[in-house]
Structure 1
Amino acid sequence: MKKPNSLFICILIAFCIVFSSCRKDPSVIPSQEELVFPPNPSSTLKGMFILNEGNMNMNKASLDLIDFRTGKYQRNIYNQANPEVTRGLGDVGNDILVYGSKLYVIVNVSNKLEVLDAKTAKRIKQIDIVNCRYITFSEGKVYVSAYLGKVGDASATQGIVAQIDTTSLTIEKKVNVGRQPEEMAIVGRKLFVANSGGYSPPDYERTLSVIDLVSFKEIKRIDVAINLNRVKADRYGDLYVTSRGDYYDTPSKLFVIDTQKDAVKKVFDIAASNLWIDDDIAYLYASTWSYPLQKNTISYTMINVKDETVMDRKFINDGTEKEILVPYGINVNPYTKEVYVSDARDYVTPGKLYCFDPAGNKKWSVTTGDIPAHFAFIN
């Protein structure tokens, strides 16, 4: 019997090793750092976390940090702080919150809430919540909205809001709301959550669920419009709520809700994808898709929330809006009034974060992870 050639055996073993390594879980993205602007040691805020969603099913959610005092931008800090978590942060980072000493990160398709140390980004605990979406807080509790059903499941019925104790980091209570609940806001002792029904068009939901935080029960639903998404509270007790429309004949709009009467008090006939309210100004952008036109229409608007009027000024005034392909997140520094706008670009390669001064001129921009979308300041 002829013996196998030793060279052939070596080549075969090497091939098996390489093939085996290719079959492992995707490797995590390494951490990177760069200087974006000159140091400012007197900055009131220490910095800001940036949560990059990462495209669905690619396991590329990542966490970045910009240090306002050193001027340095750090990419993928979760991976650096948690090397033992072999698959990194997970699949689709959907919301982020700093509350107390902890950083909370919603990872939607990975069905989890990551609880991290806000100083080190080191994991404290993972809390499993199926198809979780957004997070908010009040009086020692954090609240998480969740679809519950699998991603894209049109048969999914009610979603929930879960109450989590920030000391024990356990889910204490759950309350049923509408289908595919999205963003939340708290005014007084009431929590408001936008029900979208986004998995079953054209049978969208069209209500805000109102939850009494004392009893933790849904006490009513406010009829607003189809396919609700964002909910932001101003300092006058009103909510600003976005409707995405149906992407065909029903356009996106912005609604103002009186939380004393639990009713719509005003409608702005302008498209709105996301917004941030700082003092008396709401900064918003729209990136609205139209199936008939097969394109996005992009706009930027400022609203005076005190008198509820659209302002005749913009927060980007130097032409930089032409560089931004897909605005995907917005935030405002409460001390400097700088406006941060993120660009998802093509959704599969690194995005960008832009900083604009109060006059609307670009101060700096930096490359982020894939689909930068959510922000949280750190003091």
Structure 2
Amino acid sequence: MRKFIRLSVLMGLSFATFSCNDDDRIVGNDQEVIGQPEPTAITGFYLLNEGNMGSNKASIDFMDLATGTYSRNIYSTANPEIVRSLGDVGNDIKIYGGKLYSVINASNFIEVMDVKTARHIATIPLENGRYLTFKDGKGYATSYAGPIATDPSAPLGKVVEFDTINFAISREVTVGYQPDELEIVGQNLYVANSGGYRYPDYDRTVSVVDLNTFTETQKIDVEVNLHRIKKDSDGDLYVTTRGNYYDVASNLYVIDSRTHQIKKTFNIPVSNFTIVGDYLYYYSNEFSYETFSYEKTYGIINVRTEQQVSDRLINNPIVDEIETPYGIAVNQFNGDIFITDAANYVSDGYIYCFAKDGTLKWKTTGGNIPAHLAFVYQ
């Protein structure tokens, strides 16, 4: 457990707060009104800024949709007695059971906060942690289980299970090499293994873990360097590969969670996506060492028909201003689309909010590499 040191210069800062009371809101050390109040069942969202590795610049922002107020770097304001910043490389953020969880990859822990105040509750140690999911009072997190380094002998990764009341790690299971996103369907946990540290010998499998026994029961062969995995309402799993950046392109696959067979290969590049209702919204920012350049694309897929319905995400030329698309989320109640822009990865990035008709509602500056969104519901 880390030792916390009080820093007197920060003690005058007010604690951050959030509630349904209009006079009781999360406050950052920098905030501005950027939009019109638009209360829906989603009252706001947290944005995790990754921060460049080694810079110790991970941070959390909060957008209050009920007031249109954007607050930056709320963690330091909410926790003035903690001398450290949030940490080095924020890799994922999720809300579960009244708590806010953030995986801080290079700092080797999961930060647990109160969802209403962003106040520190606990720290869960996790070496080289990656992504989170939750079920039945338990949290599950992927770990590369080794140092951050390209190494052909890098070890197999693992998934840990932790309690969301006392935050103790109760079980762990070895999966594939350098596991990234994970998803739960029924009593099975599915893990996208990348093998990214073992270049050019990438992993190419999805691990299937039985939650009852917490053992790996199967590996589904898909393609090299897997990354994202999310389920639709029928339990089908949408999985992406980054490819090998040469002759194997990024791609999107659908796995039937009942048969564990690949149902469809889309043959389109996908870097990140979100599924809302019957639609999958995606972007790609595919890099090639052959051209030493990135190619950006966007689109929408109907997950019922498993057909691409648009090669555009937003019908607005402003989307072309996005230099480095890095995060995506969609408000299921009004169709607003949020896209983050990591820009040049060094300067502060941006977040865009588009209405479902393509109108730009607002754009504002986030932190260094704005990446991951977590909606707050009423």
Per the TM superposition, whether the score is higher than 0.5 is yes
- Partners of 2:63 and 2:318 lie apart in 1 by 21
- Partners of 1:357 and 1:45 lie apart in 2 by 15
What does the per-residue CA deviation read over 1:81-104, in whole Å, with 9 as the maximum and x for residues that have no partner? 112221210000000000011000
How far 1:38 moved relative to its partner? 1.9
How far 1:304 moved relative to its partner? 0.4
What are the equivalent positions in structure 2 for 1:106-117 lying under 5 Å apart? Answer: 106-117=103-114
3-state SS of 2:332 partner: coil
What are the equivalent positions in structure 2 for 1:50-61 lying under 5 Å apart? Answer: 50-61=47-58
Query: Contact 1:54/1:369 (CA < 8 Å) preserved in 2?
Result: yes
- Matched with 1:364 is 362
Residues 1:45 and 2:46 aligned together: no
- Matched with 2:299 is 301
- Partners of 2:227 and 2:334 lie apart in 1 by 28
How far 1:313 moved relative to its partner? 5.7
- The one-letter code sitting in structure 1 at the alignment partner of 2:273 is L
- Matched with 1:335 is 333
What does the per-residue CA deviation read over 1:94-115, in whole Å, with 9 as the maximum and x for residues that have no partner? 0000001100000000000000
- Matched with 2:256 is 258
- The one-letter code sitting in structure 2 at the alignment partner of 1:129 is L
- Matched with 1:10 is none
- The one-letter code sitting in structure 2 at the alignment partner of 1:133 is R
Query: Contact 1:327/1:344 (CA < 8 Å) preserved in 2?
Result: yes
How far 1:312 moved relative to its partner? 3.0
- Matched with 1:201 is 199
Residues 1:123 and 2:120 aligned together: yes
Choose 1 or 2 for highest CA Rg.
1
- Partners of 1:205 and 1:331 lie apart in 2 by 28
- Matched with 2:242 is 244
What are the equivalent positions in structure 2 for 1:1-379 lying under 5 Å apart? Answer: 31-40=29-38, 42-154=39-151, 155-312=153-310, 314-379=312-377
- The one-letter code sitting in structure 1 at the alignment partner of 2:88 is D
Query: Contact 1:315/1:359 (CA < 8 Å) preserved in 2?
Result: no
- The one-letter code sitting in structure 2 at the alignment partner of 1:345 is A
After TM superposition, the runs of 4+ consecutive aligned structure 1 residues lying more than 2 A away are 312-315
3-state SS of 1:199 partner: helix
3-state SS of 1:311 partner: strand
- The one-letter code sitting in structure 2 at the alignment partner of 1:146 is S
- Partners of 2:354 and 2:279 lie apart in 1 by 15
TM-score, length basis structure 1: 0.91
- Partners of 1:312 and 1:205 lie apart in 2 by 31
- Partners of 1:153 and 1:51 lie apart in 2 by 25
Query: Unmatched 5+ residue regions in structure 2?
Result: 1-27
3-state SS of 1:293 partner: coil
TM-score, length basis structure 2: 0.91
What does the per-residue CA deviation read over 1:282-336, in whole Å, with 9 as the maximum and x for residues that have no partner? 0000001111101100000100000000113632111012110000000011111
3-state SS of 2:176 partner: coil
How far 1:43 moved relative to its partner? 2.5
- Partners of 1:190 and 1:360 lie apart in 2 by 38
Q: Percent identity?
A: 48
